[in-house]
Amino acid sequence: MLLICLMGLVVLAVAFLPSVVYAVWIRNTEKYEREPWVPIIITFILGAFAGVVIALILEFSAAIIYAAYSPGVVRQYEFLARNREALDALIMACIIAPFAEEFSKFLCMLPARRYIDELEDGLVYGAAAGLGFAATENLLYEGSALIAGGLVAWIVISVIRSITGGMLHGSTTAIMGYGYSRKKLEHKRWALLGGYLVAVAIHGVFNLVASLLLFVGEEHAWAYLLILIVAVGMAVGVFTYVRRKIKRLDIQGLSPQ
């Protein structure tokens, strides 16, 4: 029993620690007027719990509606492995899921909106919400891998998810958060919608790339590795862009107007 509890704590720590590290990294990217820890932590927690629940409700509802027109469709990426021409599964993974998840993550950063008084603040709080969401999603994926595939599968999935899950979710919601800060501070009417659509597009393309892994399978080692590199590169690239954007805006905020 003790061993099971310890293993559970290890799985929990492995799932959450990368997102926590990324959240600290993003918050500390600002050199001047860094955001207070309390709203950052609250936003992270909201993303980890409320964000996941809202996303599940939205996706489940969308799946029911979509299934009425395409009977038998369920949202599970494993379906692609059984039927490579399953357009329905691709629609669920690359369109419905990004729209639902980006919306739910954005809702989780709204309680911190009163702290957004600089353009880069939207990036910071958006990232916090997205990283919280990623932590719980990592826990679900990695826990499933451990149960279904054992220790080796858990290690592999944990390593991949620690990079792709956190960086991707944190970055896309940060972009939407930036849209919100532009709407609030610069009164850009369509900035929020634009940020949302960009976040959904990046998320959808990433899910499409990740889904290709199920087409080739691990038996095609070079193709599998190439696709994996592209997915990791996307996540790292967008995360790097967000951090550079925060730095640039942080410095610009000190310039005389």
pLDDT in tens, 70-98: 654 444 444 444 554 557 777 888 999 99
pTM for the whole thing? 0.90
- Provide the percentage of residues in the chain whose pLDDT is more than 90: 71
Per-residue pLDDT band for 170 (boundaries 50, 70, 90) equals very high
Per-residue pLDDT band for 155 (boundaries 50, 70, 90) equals very high
| pLDDT tens-digit map of 116-130 | 999 999 999 999 999
Q: What is the pLDDT of residue 169?
A: 97
Question: Quick one: DSSP state of residue 35?
Answer: P
Instruction: Flag whether pLDDT at 214 surpasses 80.
Output: no
Q: What is the pLDDT of residue 86?
A: 57
The contacts of residue 123 (CB under 8 Å, 6+ apart) are 26, 174, 175, 177, 178, 181, 242, 245, 246, 249
- Provide the percentage of residues in the chain whose pLDDT is more than 70: 88
Question: Mean pLDDT for the chain?
Answer: 89
More confident residue, 221 or 117: 117
In this predicted structure, which of 82-91, 166-175, 244-253 has the lowest mean pLDDT?
A: 82-91
Q: What is the pLDDT of residue 256?
A: 44
Q: How far apart are CA 86 and CA 212, in angstroms?
A: 12
Question: Is the separation of the CB atoms in 75 and 93 below 8 Å?
Answer: yes
Helices (H), 83-118: 87-91, 97-109
Q: What is the pLDDT of residue 217?
A: 60
Q: What is the pLDDT of residue 74?
A: 46
The amino acid at residue 210 is: A
Q: What is the pLDDT of residue 218?
A: 60
Output the CA–CA distances (angstroms, integers) from residue 83 to 14, 50, 76, 127, in the order listed.
32, 33, 12, 35
Instruction: Flag whether pLDDT at 225 surpasses 50.
Output: yes
Q: How far apart are CA 217 and CA 233, in angstroms?
A: 19
Question: Quick one: DSSP state of residue 117?
Answer: -
| pLDDT tens-digit map of 5-58 | 888 899 999 999 999 999 999 999 999 989 999 999 999 999 999 999 999 999
